[in-house]
Amino acid sequence: MSAERILVVDDEELIRWSLVERLRAEGYDVTEAGTGAEAMERARDGVDLVLLDYRLPDTDGVAVLRQIKELDPDVLVILLTAYASVETAVEAMKEGAFHFANKPFDLDDVAFLVSRALETTQLRREVRRLRASQAQPYAVDRIVGQSSTMEMLRTLLGKVASSPASTVLLTGESGTGKDLAAKVLHYNSDRAHKPFMNVTCSALPETLLESELFGHERGAFTDARQLKRGLFESADGGTVFLDEIGEMVPALQAKLLRVLEDRAFKRVGGLQDIKVNVRVIAATNRNLEEEVRAGRFRQDLFYRLNVLPVTLPPLRQHLDDVPALTSFYIDLFNREFRKDVKGASPAALKVLQSYGWPGNIRELRNAVERAMLLATESWLEPSDFLLSPAAAAAHGDAAFRLPPEGVNLEALEQSLVVQALERCGGNQTRAAALLGMNRDQIRYRVEKFGLARPHHS
Ligand SMILES: Nc1ncnc2c1ncn2[C@@H]1O[C@H](COP(=O)(O)OP(=O)(O)OP(=O)(O)O)[C@@H](O)[C@H]1O
Ligand SMILES: [Mg+2]
Protein backbone atom coordinates (compact mmCIF):
# COMPACT_ATOMS: atom_id res chain seq x y z
CA MET A 1 0.00 0.00 0.00
CA SER A 2 1.24 3.53 -0.71
CA ALA A 3 2.07 5.94 2.12
CA GLU A 4 -0.80 7.80 3.71
CA ARG A 5 -1.15 11.42 2.64
CA ILE A 6 -1.14 14.11 5.24
CA LEU A 7 -1.85 17.78 4.67
CA VAL A 8 -0.32 20.29 7.10
CA VAL A 9 -2.10 23.66 7.19
CA ASP A 10 -0.53 26.48 9.15
CA ASP A 11 0.43 30.04 8.22
CA GLU A 12 3.48 30.04 10.48
CA GLU A 13 6.31 28.69 8.39
CA LEU A 14 8.41 27.41 11.26
CA ILE A 15 5.60 25.35 12.77
CA ARG A 16 4.67 24.01 9.35
CA TRP A 17 8.28 23.10 8.65
CA SER A 18 8.76 21.23 11.92
CA LEU A 19 5.54 19.24 11.44
CA VAL A 20 6.32 18.41 7.82
CA GLU A 21 9.86 17.27 8.65
CA ARG A 22 8.73 15.10 11.52
CA LEU A 23 5.87 13.44 9.63
CA ARG A 24 8.05 12.80 6.56
CA ALA A 25 10.56 11.13 8.85
CA GLU A 26 7.72 8.86 9.99
CA GLY A 27 7.25 7.80 6.37
CA TYR A 28 4.10 9.73 5.46
CA ASP A 29 3.51 11.51 2.20
CA VAL A 30 3.17 15.12 3.37
CA THR A 31 1.93 18.25 1.58
CA GLU A 32 1.47 21.70 3.04
CA ALA A 33 -0.64 24.84 2.80
CA GLY A 34 -0.44 28.30 4.34
CA THR A 35 -4.01 29.46 3.82
CA GLY A 36 -7.53 28.02 3.86
CA ALA A 37 -7.85 28.42 0.11
CA GLU A 38 -4.59 26.59 -0.53
CA ALA A 39 -5.65 23.90 1.91
CA MET A 40 -8.84 23.22 -0.04
CA GLU A 41 -6.88 23.04 -3.27
CA ARG A 42 -4.56 20.38 -1.81
CA ALA A 43 -7.44 18.52 -0.16
CA ARG A 44 -9.06 18.09 -3.55
CA ASP A 45 -6.08 15.99 -4.68
CA GLY A 46 -7.05 13.49 -2.01
CA VAL A 47 -5.66 13.28 1.52
CA ASP A 48 -6.11 10.92 4.43
CA LEU A 49 -5.54 13.30 7.29
CA VAL A 50 -5.28 17.05 7.83
CA LEU A 51 -3.43 18.87 10.58
CA LEU A 52 -5.27 22.15 10.64
CA ASP A 53 -4.36 25.40 12.36
CA TYR A 54 -7.38 27.18 13.79
CA ARG A 55 -6.13 30.67 12.98
CA LEU A 56 -5.64 31.16 9.26
CA PRO A 57 -5.09 34.45 7.38
CA ASP A 58 -8.11 34.06 5.10
CA THR A 59 -10.59 32.05 7.19
CA ASP A 60 -10.84 29.98 10.32
CA GLY A 61 -10.10 26.32 10.88
CA VAL A 62 -13.68 25.25 11.53
CA ALA A 63 -14.82 26.61 8.15
CA VAL A 64 -12.05 24.69 6.41
CA LEU A 65 -12.90 21.60 8.46
CA ARG A 66 -16.50 21.77 7.27
CA GLN A 67 -15.47 22.05 3.61
CA ILE A 68 -13.02 19.19 3.88
CA LYS A 69 -15.66 16.95 5.43
CA GLU A 70 -18.03 17.82 2.61
CA LEU A 71 -15.40 16.74 0.12
CA ASP A 72 -14.72 13.43 1.83
CA PRO A 73 -16.30 12.51 5.16
CA ASP A 74 -13.61 9.89 5.81
CA VAL A 75 -10.77 12.43 5.99
CA LEU A 76 -9.62 12.94 9.54
CA VAL A 77 -8.88 16.40 10.83
CA ILE A 78 -6.79 17.27 13.85
CA LEU A 79 -7.20 20.87 14.87
CA LEU A 80 -4.18 22.77 16.19
CA THR A 81 -4.85 25.83 18.22
CA ALA A 82 -3.24 28.22 20.61
CA TYR A 83 -6.61 29.68 21.54
CA ALA A 84 -8.35 26.61 22.84
CA SER A 85 -11.63 27.57 24.30
CA VAL A 86 -14.41 25.23 25.24
CA GLU A 87 -16.64 26.74 22.55
CA THR A 88 -14.22 26.24 19.67
CA ALA A 89 -13.53 22.72 20.85
CA VAL A 90 -17.22 21.84 20.98
CA GLU A 91 -17.86 23.46 17.64
CA ALA A 92 -14.96 21.62 16.00
CA MET A 93 -16.02 18.27 17.41
CA LYS A 94 -19.54 18.84 16.14
CA GLU A 95 -18.14 19.43 12.68
CA GLY A 96 -16.37 16.11 12.91
CA ALA A 97 -12.82 16.96 14.03
CA PHE A 98 -11.00 13.88 15.23
CA HIS A 99 -9.01 15.60 17.92
CA PHE A 100 -7.48 18.74 19.31
CA ALA A 101 -3.88 19.61 19.96
CA ASN A 102 -2.97 22.69 21.89
CA LYS A 103 -0.17 24.92 20.78
CA PRO A 104 2.62 24.77 21.69
CA PHE A 105 2.53 21.03 21.13
CA ASP A 106 4.99 18.24 21.57
CA LEU A 107 5.95 16.69 18.20
CA ASP A 108 5.89 13.18 19.68
CA ASP A 109 2.32 13.68 20.86
CA VAL A 110 1.27 14.89 17.44
CA ALA A 111 2.97 11.94 15.71
CA PHE A 112 1.20 9.51 18.04
CA LEU A 113 -2.16 11.19 17.49
CA VAL A 114 -1.66 11.00 13.74
CA SER A 115 -0.89 7.29 13.74
CA ARG A 116 -3.93 6.52 15.92
CA ALA A 117 -6.16 8.65 13.73
CA LEU A 118 -4.98 6.95 10.55
CA GLU A 119 -5.87 3.54 11.92
CA THR A 120 -9.40 4.83 12.33
CA THR A 121 -9.66 6.08 8.73
CA GLN A 122 -8.44 2.80 7.40
CA LEU A 123 -11.04 0.95 9.37
CA ARG A 124 -13.77 3.28 8.23
CA ARG A 125 -12.73 3.03 4.59
CA GLU A 126 -12.58 -0.75 4.81
CA VAL A 127 -16.07 -0.94 6.28
CA ARG A 128 -17.38 1.39 3.60
CA ARG A 129 -15.68 -0.58 0.84
CA LEU A 130 -17.13 -3.81 2.18
CA ARG A 131 -20.58 -2.31 2.39
CA ALA A 132 -20.32 -1.04 -1.15
CA SER A 133 -19.14 -4.40 -2.40
CA GLN A 134 -22.05 -6.12 -0.68
CA ALA A 135 -24.48 -3.72 -2.26
CA GLN A 136 -22.94 -4.41 -5.65
CA PRO A 137 -21.35 -7.85 -5.46
CA TYR A 138 -21.09 -8.18 -9.21
CA ALA A 139 -19.36 -4.96 -10.16
CA VAL A 140 -16.99 -5.38 -13.11
CA ASP A 141 -14.12 -5.16 -10.60
CA ARG A 142 -15.19 -8.47 -9.13
CA ILE A 143 -13.28 -9.91 -12.10
CA VAL A 144 -9.84 -9.97 -10.52
CA GLY A 145 -6.58 -9.77 -12.47
CA GLN A 146 -4.20 -7.10 -13.76
CA SER A 147 -2.99 -8.88 -16.87
CA SER A 148 -3.89 -7.27 -20.18
CA THR A 149 -6.12 -10.28 -20.85
CA MET A 150 -8.23 -9.55 -17.79
CA GLU A 151 -8.20 -5.79 -18.39
CA MET A 152 -9.58 -6.44 -21.84
CA LEU A 153 -12.14 -8.85 -20.45
CA ARG A 154 -13.40 -6.27 -17.94
CA THR A 155 -13.61 -3.61 -20.63
CA LEU A 156 -15.46 -5.95 -22.95
CA LEU A 157 -17.91 -7.11 -20.26
CA GLY A 158 -18.58 -3.51 -19.27
CA LYS A 159 -19.32 -2.56 -22.86
CA VAL A 160 -21.47 -5.59 -23.57
CA ALA A 161 -23.40 -5.11 -20.31
CA SER A 162 -24.49 -1.62 -21.24
CA SER A 163 -25.06 -2.43 -24.92
CA PRO A 164 -28.49 -3.34 -26.24
CA ALA A 165 -27.15 -6.76 -27.33
CA SER A 166 -29.86 -9.33 -26.78
CA THR A 167 -27.67 -12.44 -26.86
CA VAL A 168 -24.21 -13.15 -25.55
CA LEU A 169 -22.23 -16.38 -25.78
CA LEU A 170 -19.74 -17.13 -23.01
CA THR A 171 -17.19 -19.81 -23.74
CA GLY A 172 -14.30 -21.12 -21.71
CA GLU A 173 -13.12 -24.15 -19.83
CA SER A 174 -14.68 -25.18 -16.57
CA GLY A 175 -13.84 -22.81 -13.71
CA THR A 176 -12.77 -19.86 -15.87
CA GLY A 177 -15.58 -17.58 -14.66
CA LYS A 178 -18.50 -17.96 -17.07
CA ASP A 179 -21.00 -17.91 -14.26
CA LEU A 180 -19.40 -14.86 -12.73
CA ALA A 181 -19.28 -13.12 -16.13
CA ALA A 182 -22.99 -13.78 -16.68
CA LYS A 183 -23.85 -12.11 -13.37
CA VAL A 184 -21.52 -9.21 -14.06
CA LEU A 185 -23.28 -8.73 -17.41
CA HIS A 186 -26.71 -8.74 -15.81
CA TYR A 187 -25.98 -6.59 -12.78
CA ASN A 188 -24.19 -3.94 -14.82
CA SER A 189 -26.91 -3.64 -17.43
CA ASP A 190 -30.06 -1.56 -17.31
CA ARG A 191 -31.82 -4.87 -16.65
CA ALA A 192 -30.15 -5.13 -13.23
CA HIS A 193 -33.38 -4.50 -11.31
CA LYS A 194 -35.28 -7.12 -13.28
CA PRO A 195 -34.90 -10.86 -12.74
CA PHE A 196 -31.79 -12.89 -13.48
CA MET A 197 -32.97 -16.43 -14.24
CA ASN A 198 -30.50 -19.23 -14.42
CA VAL A 199 -30.93 -22.76 -15.74
CA THR A 200 -28.38 -25.49 -16.36
CA CYS A 201 -29.46 -27.21 -19.53
CA SER A 202 -27.80 -30.51 -18.65
CA ALA A 203 -29.46 -30.77 -15.25
CA LEU A 204 -32.98 -31.61 -16.45
CA PRO A 205 -34.41 -34.18 -18.83
CA GLU A 206 -35.71 -32.75 -22.10
CA THR A 207 -39.42 -32.47 -21.28
CA LEU A 208 -38.82 -30.93 -17.88
CA LEU A 209 -36.35 -28.45 -19.31
CA GLU A 210 -38.86 -27.45 -21.94
CA SER A 211 -41.57 -26.63 -19.43
CA GLU A 212 -38.99 -25.00 -17.16
CA LEU A 213 -38.00 -22.66 -19.98
CA PHE A 214 -41.33 -22.03 -21.67
CA GLY A 215 -43.92 -22.99 -19.06
CA HIS A 216 -47.01 -25.04 -19.78
CA GLU A 217 -50.75 -24.65 -20.01
CA ARG A 218 -53.07 -26.36 -17.60
CA GLY A 219 -53.62 -29.93 -18.78
CA ALA A 220 -50.75 -29.83 -21.27
CA PHE A 221 -49.64 -33.21 -19.95
CA THR A 222 -50.70 -35.61 -17.22
CA ASP A 223 -49.07 -33.81 -14.32
CA ALA A 224 -49.83 -30.32 -15.54
CA ARG A 225 -52.66 -29.54 -13.13
CA GLN A 226 -52.22 -25.84 -13.47
CA LEU A 227 -50.70 -23.24 -15.68
CA LYS A 228 -47.00 -22.66 -15.14
CA ARG A 229 -44.97 -19.75 -16.36
CA GLY A 230 -41.52 -20.60 -17.65
CA LEU A 231 -38.23 -18.86 -17.06
CA PHE A 232 -38.54 -16.76 -20.19
CA GLU A 233 -41.83 -15.32 -19.00
CA SER A 234 -40.67 -14.77 -15.43
CA ALA A 235 -37.50 -13.08 -16.58
CA ASP A 236 -39.33 -10.53 -18.73
CA GLY A 237 -37.26 -7.34 -18.78
CA GLY A 238 -34.28 -9.17 -17.33
CA THR A 239 -31.78 -11.86 -18.26
CA VAL A 240 -32.01 -15.61 -18.85
CA PHE A 241 -28.73 -17.43 -18.31
CA LEU A 242 -28.62 -20.77 -20.11
CA ASP A 243 -25.66 -22.65 -18.71
CA GLU A 244 -24.16 -25.63 -20.55
CA ILE A 245 -26.05 -24.77 -23.71
CA GLY A 246 -23.94 -27.36 -25.55
CA GLU A 247 -25.97 -30.08 -23.83
CA MET A 248 -29.35 -28.84 -25.05
CA VAL A 249 -31.21 -31.34 -27.23
CA PRO A 250 -31.94 -30.36 -30.86
CA ALA A 251 -35.72 -30.03 -30.39
CA LEU A 252 -35.24 -27.40 -27.72
CA GLN A 253 -32.49 -25.73 -29.72
CA ALA A 254 -35.10 -25.02 -32.40
CA LYS A 255 -37.51 -23.49 -29.89
CA LEU A 256 -34.73 -21.40 -28.43
CA LEU A 257 -33.77 -20.11 -31.85
CA ARG A 258 -37.31 -18.91 -32.31
CA VAL A 259 -37.20 -16.99 -29.01
CA LEU A 260 -33.97 -15.34 -30.08
CA GLU A 261 -35.28 -14.40 -33.51
CA ASP A 262 -38.90 -13.47 -32.83
CA ARG A 263 -38.77 -12.73 -29.09
CA ALA A 264 -41.79 -15.02 -28.88
CA PHE A 265 -42.66 -18.58 -27.85
CA LYS A 266 -45.59 -20.75 -26.91
CA ARG A 267 -46.10 -22.46 -23.56
CA VAL A 268 -46.11 -26.25 -23.77
CA GLY A 269 -49.64 -27.13 -24.86
CA GLY A 270 -50.37 -23.51 -25.66
CA LEU A 271 -51.54 -21.93 -28.90
CA GLN A 272 -50.92 -18.33 -28.18
CA ASP A 273 -47.60 -16.59 -28.78
CA ILE A 274 -46.09 -14.96 -25.74
CA LYS A 275 -43.82 -11.98 -26.32
CA VAL A 276 -40.93 -11.29 -24.03
CA ASN A 277 -38.04 -8.91 -23.74
CA VAL A 278 -35.11 -10.81 -22.33
CA ARG A 279 -31.40 -10.89 -22.85
CA VAL A 280 -30.15 -14.45 -23.28
CA ILE A 281 -26.69 -15.28 -22.03
CA ALA A 282 -25.60 -18.76 -23.05
CA ALA A 283 -22.51 -20.49 -21.70
CA THR A 284 -20.62 -23.62 -22.61
CA ASN A 285 -17.28 -25.25 -21.98
CA ARG A 286 -17.62 -27.21 -25.20
CA ASN A 287 -16.32 -26.08 -28.54
CA LEU A 288 -19.63 -25.29 -30.23
CA GLU A 289 -18.07 -25.21 -33.69
CA GLU A 290 -16.98 -28.80 -33.12
CA GLU A 291 -20.47 -29.65 -31.93
CA VAL A 292 -21.93 -28.11 -35.08
CA ARG A 293 -19.53 -30.08 -37.26
CA ALA A 294 -20.42 -33.26 -35.41
CA GLY A 295 -24.10 -32.54 -36.03
CA ARG A 296 -24.99 -32.17 -32.37
CA PHE A 297 -25.62 -28.46 -32.35
CA ARG A 298 -27.75 -26.47 -34.80
CA GLN A 299 -25.66 -24.29 -37.02
CA ASP A 300 -28.30 -21.54 -37.25
CA LEU A 301 -28.54 -21.36 -33.46
CA PHE A 302 -24.76 -21.27 -33.19
CA TYR A 303 -24.57 -18.31 -35.58
CA ARG A 304 -27.36 -16.52 -33.74
CA LEU A 305 -25.61 -17.00 -30.37
CA ASN A 306 -22.17 -16.27 -31.69
CA VAL A 307 -22.96 -12.67 -32.64
CA LEU A 308 -21.35 -11.56 -29.40
CA PRO A 309 -18.91 -14.20 -28.19
CA VAL A 310 -16.91 -13.60 -25.01
CA THR A 311 -14.12 -16.05 -24.29
CA LEU A 312 -12.89 -16.62 -20.77
CA PRO A 313 -9.21 -17.63 -20.99
CA PRO A 314 -7.82 -20.65 -19.12
CA LEU A 315 -5.80 -19.58 -16.08
CA ARG A 316 -2.58 -21.13 -17.49
CA GLN A 317 -2.73 -18.42 -20.17
CA HIS A 318 -2.67 -15.59 -17.64
CA LEU A 319 -0.52 -16.95 -14.85
CA ASP A 320 0.63 -13.41 -14.03
CA ASP A 321 -2.79 -12.95 -12.40
CA VAL A 322 -2.16 -15.76 -9.92
CA PRO A 323 -0.73 -13.45 -7.21
CA ALA A 324 -3.69 -11.04 -7.42
CA LEU A 325 -6.22 -13.88 -7.42
CA THR A 326 -4.44 -15.55 -4.52
CA SER A 327 -4.53 -12.42 -2.40
CA PHE A 328 -8.18 -11.83 -3.35
CA TYR A 329 -9.06 -15.27 -2.00
CA ILE A 330 -6.84 -14.87 1.06
CA ASP A 331 -8.80 -11.70 1.91
CA LEU A 332 -12.07 -13.49 1.32
CA PHE A 333 -11.23 -16.49 3.50
CA ASN A 334 -9.63 -14.32 6.17
CA ARG A 335 -13.05 -12.75 6.58
CA GLU A 336 -14.91 -16.02 6.32
CA PHE A 337 -12.68 -18.00 8.69
CA ARG A 338 -11.77 -15.04 10.91
CA LYS A 339 -8.13 -15.61 10.19
CA ASP A 340 -5.27 -13.21 9.73
CA VAL A 341 -3.18 -14.78 7.00
CA LYS A 342 -0.89 -12.10 5.59
CA GLY A 343 -0.33 -13.62 2.18
CA ALA A 344 1.39 -16.33 0.20
CA SER A 345 5.17 -16.43 0.58
CA PRO A 346 7.28 -15.72 -2.53
CA ALA A 347 8.15 -19.42 -2.69
CA ALA A 348 4.48 -20.38 -2.55
CA LEU A 349 3.60 -17.87 -5.26
CA LYS A 350 6.32 -19.31 -7.44
CA VAL A 351 4.82 -22.78 -7.06
CA LEU A 352 1.33 -21.47 -7.79
CA GLN A 353 2.56 -19.64 -10.85
CA SER A 354 4.25 -22.67 -12.32
CA TYR A 355 1.24 -24.93 -11.93
CA GLY A 356 -1.02 -25.67 -14.90
CA TRP A 357 -4.42 -25.13 -13.19
CA PRO A 358 -6.55 -27.58 -15.19
CA GLY A 359 -9.49 -26.55 -13.00
CA ASN A 360 -8.71 -22.86 -13.59
CA ILE A 361 -9.78 -20.15 -11.12
CA ARG A 362 -12.15 -22.50 -9.28
CA GLU A 363 -9.22 -24.81 -8.57
CA LEU A 364 -7.09 -21.88 -7.37
CA ARG A 365 -9.90 -20.75 -5.08
CA ASN A 366 -10.20 -24.25 -3.62
CA ALA A 367 -6.43 -24.54 -3.25
CA VAL A 368 -6.28 -21.27 -1.29
CA GLU A 369 -9.24 -22.25 0.85
CA ARG A 370 -7.63 -25.57 1.73
CA ALA A 371 -4.25 -23.95 2.39
CA MET A 372 -5.86 -21.44 4.75
CA LEU A 373 -7.51 -24.21 6.70
CA LEU A 374 -4.19 -26.02 7.02
CA ALA A 375 -1.92 -23.04 7.53
CA THR A 376 -0.37 -22.62 10.93
CA GLU A 377 1.84 -19.64 10.08
CA SER A 378 0.73 -16.19 9.01
CA TRP A 379 2.16 -16.72 5.52
CA LEU A 380 1.06 -19.54 3.22
CA GLU A 381 3.99 -21.76 2.27
CA PRO A 382 4.41 -24.21 -0.62
CA SER A 383 3.73 -27.13 1.73
CA ASP A 384 0.26 -25.71 2.52
CA PHE A 385 -0.79 -26.26 -1.07
CA LEU A 386 -1.58 -29.77 -2.20
CA LEU A 387 -1.33 -29.49 -5.95
CA SER A 388 -1.40 -32.43 -8.30
CA PRO A 389 2.32 -32.94 -9.11
CA ALA A 390 1.60 -34.47 -12.52
CA ALA A 391 -0.27 -31.41 -13.65
CA ALA A 392 2.43 -29.19 -12.20
CA ALA A 393 5.17 -31.05 -14.02
CA ALA A 394 3.23 -30.87 -17.27
CA HIS A 395 3.36 -27.09 -17.11
CA GLY A 396 6.31 -26.32 -14.88
CA ASP A 397 9.81 -25.53 -16.01
CA ALA A 398 10.93 -29.15 -15.56
CA ALA A 399 8.64 -29.98 -18.48
CA PHE A 400 9.52 -31.14 -21.94
CA ARG A 401 12.19 -29.12 -23.77
CA LEU A 402 11.74 -28.43 -27.44
CA PRO A 403 14.56 -30.21 -29.33
CA PRO A 404 16.54 -28.12 -31.86
CA GLU A 405 14.97 -29.87 -34.85
CA GLY A 406 11.43 -29.23 -33.48
CA VAL A 407 8.62 -31.77 -33.02
CA ASN A 408 5.38 -32.87 -34.57
CA LEU A 409 3.11 -31.52 -31.87
CA GLU A 410 0.00 -33.32 -33.05
CA ALA A 411 1.82 -36.69 -33.01
CA LEU A 412 3.40 -35.96 -29.65
CA GLU A 413 0.04 -35.01 -28.21
CA GLN A 414 -1.53 -38.20 -29.52
CA SER A 415 1.29 -40.29 -28.12
CA LEU A 416 1.03 -38.65 -24.69
CA VAL A 417 -2.73 -39.11 -24.60
CA VAL A 418 -2.32 -42.79 -25.55
CA GLN A 419 0.35 -43.29 -22.88
CA ALA A 420 -1.75 -41.62 -20.22
CA LEU A 421 -4.79 -43.73 -21.12
CA GLU A 422 -2.71 -46.91 -21.08
CA ARG A 423 -1.26 -46.08 -17.72
CA CYS A 424 -4.75 -45.49 -16.30
CA GLY A 425 -6.31 -48.54 -17.87
CA GLY A 426 -8.46 -46.39 -20.13
CA ASN A 427 -9.89 -44.30 -17.30
CA GLN A 428 -10.30 -40.90 -18.93
CA THR A 429 -10.72 -38.93 -15.73
CA ARG A 430 -7.45 -40.20 -14.31
CA ALA A 431 -5.66 -39.87 -17.63
CA ALA A 432 -6.91 -36.29 -17.86
CA ALA A 433 -5.44 -35.52 -14.43
CA LEU A 434 -2.07 -36.90 -15.56
CA LEU A 435 -2.12 -34.49 -18.49
CA GLY A 436 -3.40 -31.48 -16.57
CA MET A 437 -6.65 -31.49 -18.52
CA ASN A 438 -10.30 -31.67 -17.63
CA ARG A 439 -12.63 -34.42 -18.82
CA ASP A 440 -13.96 -32.49 -21.76
CA GLN A 441 -10.48 -31.75 -22.98
CA ILE A 442 -9.45 -35.38 -22.93
CA ARG A 443 -12.76 -36.56 -24.36
CA TYR A 444 -12.23 -34.17 -27.24
CA ARG A 445 -8.76 -35.58 -27.92
CA VAL A 446 -9.94 -39.18 -27.61
CA GLU A 447 -12.45 -38.42 -30.34
CA LYS A 448 -10.01 -36.40 -32.42
CA PHE A 449 -7.43 -39.18 -32.46
CA GLY A 450 -10.04 -41.96 -32.74
CA LEU A 451 -8.88 -43.57 -29.50
CA ALA A 452 -12.28 -44.44 -28.10
CA ARG A 453 -12.59 -48.09 -29.13
CA PRO A 454 -9.34 -49.75 -28.05
CA HIS A 455 -9.81 -48.43 -24.50
CA HIS A 456 -13.50 -49.13 -24.16
CA SER A 457 -13.78 -52.74 -25.13
N1 LIG B 1 -11.53 -13.28 -12.74
C2 LIG B 1 -11.99 -13.79 -11.60
N3 LIG B 1 -11.76 -13.15 -10.45
C4 LIG B 1 -12.19 -13.66 -9.28
N5 LIG B 1 -12.85 -14.79 -9.16
C6 LIG B 1 -13.12 -15.48 -10.27
C7 LIG B 1 -12.73 -15.01 -11.55
N8 LIG B 1 -13.17 -15.89 -12.47
C9 LIG B 1 -13.78 -16.88 -11.79
N10 LIG B 1 -13.77 -16.63 -10.48
C11 LIG B 1 -14.30 -17.51 -9.44
O12 LIG B 1 -13.94 -18.84 -9.78
C13 LIG B 1 -14.98 -19.75 -9.47
C14 LIG B 1 -15.40 -20.47 -10.73
O15 LIG B 1 -16.02 -19.55 -11.64
P16 LIG B 1 -17.38 -19.88 -12.40
O17 LIG B 1 -18.29 -20.70 -11.56
O18 LIG B 1 -17.89 -18.61 -12.92
O19 LIG B 1 -16.77 -20.80 -13.58
P20 LIG B 1 -17.51 -21.42 -14.83
O21 LIG B 1 -16.75 -20.98 -16.03
O22 LIG B 1 -18.97 -21.10 -14.78
O23 LIG B 1 -17.26 -22.98 -14.61
P24 LIG B 1 -18.17 -24.24 -15.11
O25 LIG B 1 -17.96 -24.36 -16.59
O26 LIG B 1 -17.56 -25.39 -14.36
O27 LIG B 1 -19.57 -23.95 -14.73
C28 LIG B 1 -16.07 -18.93 -8.85
O29 LIG B 1 -15.92 -18.99 -7.46
C30 LIG B 1 -15.81 -17.52 -9.35
O31 LIG B 1 -16.31 -16.55 -8.46
MG1 LIG C 1 -20.64 -22.33 -14.45
Binding site membership of 324 for ligand 1 (Cβ less than 6 Å): no
Partnered with residue 140 across adjacent β-strands are none
pLDDT at residue 396, as a whole number: 44
pLDDT at residue 101, as a whole number: 79
Give distance in angstroms: CA of 440 to centre of ligand 2: 14
Binding site membership of 144 for ligand 1 (Cβ less than 6 Å): yes
Q: What is the pLDDT of residues 15-71, one digit of tens each?
A: 999 999 999 999 999 999 999 999 999 999 889 999 999 889 999 888 999 999 888
Mean pLDDT across the stretch 158-184?
95
Q: Which of 27-31, 250-254, 383-387 has the weakest average pLDDT?
A: 383-387
Q: In whole angstroms, how far apart are CA 389 and each of 252, 323, 386, 425, 433?
A: 42, 20, 9, 20, 10
The DSSP annotation for 364-417 comes to HHHHHHHHHHH--SSEE-GGG----HHHHHHHSTTSPPPPTT---HHHHHHHHH
Rg (CA), the chain: 30
Binding site membership of 174 for ligand 1 (Cβ less than 6 Å): yes
Binding site membership of 365 for ligand 1 (Cβ less than 6 Å): yes
Q: Closest residue (by CA) to atom 12 of ligand 1?
A: 362
Binding site membership of 178 for ligand 1 (Cβ less than 6 Å): yes
Binding site membership of 314 for ligand 1 (Cβ less than 6 Å): no
Highest mean pLDDT among 110-114, 386-390, 421-425: 110-114
Which H or E run includes 110?
A: helix 107-135
Q: What is the pLDDT of residues 295-346, one digit of tens each?
A: 999 999 999 999 999 999 999 999 999 999 999 999 999 998 889 999 999 9
Q: Which residue among 180, 287, 316, 319 has the greatest number of ligand 1 atoms within 8 angstroms of its CB, and so is best to mutate?
A: 180
pLDDT over threshold 70, residue 397? no
Give distance in angstroms: CA of 174 to centre of ligand 1: 8
pLDDT over threshold 60, residue 348? yes
Q: Closest residue (by CA) to atom 1 of ligand 1?
A: 143
The SS3 call for residue 118 is helix
pLDDT at residue 327, as a whole number: 93
Give distance in angstroms: CA of 257 to centre of ligand 1: 27
Query: 219 versus 300: which is more confidently predicted?
Result: 300
The SS3 call for residue 8 is strand
pLDDT at residue 19, as a whole number: 95
Distance CA 73, CA 401 (A): 58
Q: How many CB atoms are located within 10 Å of the residue 287 CB?
A: 16
> What is the CA 331 to chain-centroid distance, rounded?
13
Binding site membership of 180 for ligand 1 (Cβ less than 6 Å): yes
Distance CA 124, CA 15 (A): 30
pLDDT at residue 456, as a whole number: 43
Give distance in angstroms: CA of 175 to centre of ligand 2: 7
Closest ligand relative to 175 C-alpha:
1
The pTM score is 0.62
pLDDT over threshold 70, residue 129? no
* Residues in CB range of 196: below 8 A, 6 or more apart: 183, 186, 187, 235, 238, 239, 241
Q: Work out which ligand 1 atom sits closest to the CA atom of 312.
A: 21
Q: Which residue among 171, 362, 439 has the greatest number of ligand 1 atoms within 8 angstroms of its CB, and so is best to mutate?
A: 362
For the chain, what percent of residues have pLDDT higher than 90? 57
pLDDT at residue 423, as a whole number: 83
pLDDT over threshold 90, residue 433? no
